[in-house]
Chain A
Amino acid sequence: MWFQILLVLALVGTAVYLLRSTPNAKHLAIRRLVVFLGLAAGVVVVVAPGVLTGMARAVGIGRGADLLFYVAIVAGLVYVVNEYKRSVQLARANTQLARELALAEARLQDRIAELERKEPS
């Protein structure tokens, strides 16, 4: 059952991806490529269901439906991880924006106070 090894590797890979890399243009390209390949594979499997069963047999799983199920779980996890990373990035950008706003306002107030002290109107 070397598919079990494959599956465990995929899950571990997802965990490493969660901890390590930060999204960039290269990752985006790879993600899009994977989505495209997934769609193409979907079409192939729908048109010729026998292919899926053949692939499942090849990796040591009896039924094509089982293979599909496993792949779907891994794909779902990768999606969740991606979305999580994206939301963390957005939260950081949001914090920076809010901080710059707060600091800009504070600098402005300080400058005004300074000018008012110099020439009391």
Chain B
Amino acid sequence: MSGMPPAPPSGIAGAHGAERDGGSWVVIPLYNEASVIAGVIAELQEVFPHIVCVDDGSTDGSAEVAEAAGARVVRHPYNLGQGAALQTGISYAREQPGVEFIVTFDADGQHRVVDAVAMIALARAEDAAIVFGSRFLDDRTRPGLLKKAVLKTAVRVTNLTTGLTLTDAHNGLRVIRVDAARAVSLKQDRMAHATEIVLQLGRTGLPYREFPVEVLYTDYSRAKGQSLLNSINILVDLVIN
């Protein structure tokens, strides 16, 4: 539950559910996802004993559901935004004893646990400090035409401002080694944090990789997805310090 038991020497959790990965902390920004969060946590727990949900002032009892599901819940006193929740989770996870990797994961069930496991394995195998999930490295993920246009524009802006070359910018699935995580200090409370975190990780100069992941567009996540108009907000947030 809490991060206190001394983390066992981190095993390489290659096979799904075979060996639990005690050196990794999963960080989930949580805001009004009561209907899906328990399932997401249960799936993650097969591999990851350490899961921290940052409840961002949910009004639907998400925090209680997550806690009952066995996650460590850190509560914001009121809603601050996904970027703020992500930073709180990273701040919490990086000070836990024995932490080696931090996995950022979305609460709405659009990421696959096997992808997270494979990304940690890649980071270990190739000594990479950061592994970004990308839904555009293969054609498993099928976003709508408009969504694809928005995401592609976001990638271009991100690559222009960060100097990295990524194929997917706003993907919530990332693996960040603790030394890289210490450099993360997100100021963007809202969605622009996805570009900001790439910028800050890029500045560390640590080796990074991209990994093809599948994003499961359920009706649920579709309904909550970012709109075209919101991408204008992201752009403005980024340009105005």
Please state if A102 and B2 are interface contacts (CB–CB under 8 Å). Answer: no
Determine which residue in A22, A91, A95 has the highest number of CB atoms from chain B within 10 A of its CB, and name it.
Answer: A95
Please state if B91 and A103 are interface contacts (CB–CB under 8 Å). Answer: yes
Please state if B1 and A101 are interface contacts (CB–CB under 8 Å). Answer: no
Chain B residues with a Cβ closer than 8 Å to the other chain, count: 23
Please state if A101 and B240 are interface contacts (CB–CB under 8 Å). Answer: no
Least CB distance from B231 to A in Å reads 19
A-B contact count (CB 8 A): 54
Please state if A95 and B80 are interface contacts (CB–CB under 8 Å). Answer: yes
Quick check: is B208 within 8 A (CB to CB) of the other chain?
no
Please state if A95 and B189 are interface contacts (CB–CB under 8 Å). Answer: yes
A113 in contact with B2 given A19-B239, A95-B84 (CB within 8 Å): yes
Quick check: is B187 within 8 A (CB to CB) of the other chain?
yes
- Which residues in chain A, 101-121, are within 8 Å of chain B measured between CB atoms? 101-103, 105-106, 109-110, 113-114, 117
Q: Mark B26-70, 1 if CB is under 8 A from A, else 0.
A: 000000000000000000000000000010000000000000000
Please state if B241 and A22 are interface contacts (CB–CB under 8 Å). Answer: yes
Please state if B240 and A103 are interface contacts (CB–CB under 8 Å). Answer: no
Residues of A within 8 A of B241 (CB): 19-20, 22, 88
What CA separation (Å) do A86 and B81 show in the bound complex?
A: 19
Quick check: is A92 within 8 A (CB to CB) of the other chain?
yes
Quick check: is B160 within 8 A (CB to CB) of the other chain?
no
What CA separation (Å) do A84 and B91 show in the bound complex?
A: 28
Please state if B77 and A98 are interface contacts (CB–CB under 8 Å). Answer: yes
Residues of A within 8 A of B76 (CB): 98-99, 102
Quick check: is A77 within 8 A (CB to CB) of the other chain?
no
Please state if B1 and A98 are interface contacts (CB–CB under 8 Å). Answer: no
Quick check: is B74 within 8 A (CB to CB) of the other chain?
yes
Q: Mark B1-13, 1 if CB is under 8 A from A, else 0.
A: 1111000000000
Residues of B within 8 A of A99 (CB): 76, 80, 84, 87-88, 91
A18 in contact with B240 given A99-B87, A99-B88, A110-B4 (CB within 8 Å): yes
Least CB distance from B167 to A in Å reads 29
Residues of B within 8 A of A84 (CB): 240
Least CB distance from A38 to B in Å reads 26
Binding site for A on B (CB under 8 A): 1-4, 54, 72, 74-78, 80-81, 84, 87-88, 91-92, 187, 189, 239-241
Binding site for B on A (CB under 8 A): 18-20, 22, 84, 88, 91-92, 94-95, 98-99, 101-103, 105-106, 109-110, 113-114, 117
| Given A84-B240, A106-B74, A110-B2, 11 other A-B residues pairs in contact with their CB atoms under 8 A | A19-B241, A22-B241, A99-B80, A102-B76, A102-B88, A106-B72, A109-B2, A110-B3, A113-B2, A114-B4, A117-B4
